Amino acid sequence: MASNSSATLSSLISVFGLGALISGIVVSWVKNKLEQNSVNKRRVRERRERQYIDFLNNLMGFRKGWEDKKMMKQFIWDVNTNATVSASDEVYRLANKYIESFDKKSKLPEPERQKIYARLVITMRNELNKMSGEPPTDLEENEIKVMQLD
């Protein structure tokens, strides 16, 4: 009987040893996949951030004192091409609204354009923050201004 329980004990140890090995492999595989997913999310965020920075840089061509037809055209090009595919719905809508605010028929006053710009920036920040698990920005529209020295 002692040899039978010894064999059972030996059998249990080998089973648990194999289980620990399999468990270790599974845990390692899951950890690797999670890290890979984190890296991929970070890359997507960085790519989107670069796109939005370029987007806002070109938008500056519309601003009084920095008028630049080439930048205006690039911004409109980006809205009609890149933004239609990769920007969030709200960013796309606000970008179009900003462009429309310069239509001579709309005669939108500068403070209203400034509000659209501020909402666009806040929306971009919140989108990027969400992608990286950060809380939404607490900046308010009146805090985001395009300033220029005379």
Mean pLDDT of the chain: 84
Report the C-alpha dihedral over residues 87, 88, 90, 95, rounded to 10 degrees.
0
Segment 48-92, tens digit of pLDDT:
999 999 999 998 888 877 889 999 999 999 999 988 998 999 999
Q: Is the per-residue pLDDT at 96 higher than 70?
A: yes
Contact 127, 91 (CB under 8 A): yes
Q: Which of 80, 108, 85, 73 is nearest to 95 (CA)?
A: 80
Average pLDDT over residues 118-132: 94
How far apart CA 16 and CA 72 sit, in angstroms, is 67
Report the C-alpha dihedral over residues 45, 50, 53, 58, rounded to 10 degrees.
-140
The confidence score (pLDDT) of residue 102 equals 87
Q: Considering the entire predicted model, what is its pTM?
A: 0.73
Contact 41, 131 (CB under 8 A): yes
Average pLDDT over residues 109-128: 93
Q: How confident is the model at residue 130 (pLDDT cuts 50, 70, 90)?
A: very high
Give the residue with greater pLDDT, 96 vs 25. Answer: 96
Q: How confident is the model at residue 112 (pLDDT cuts 50, 70, 90)?
A: very high
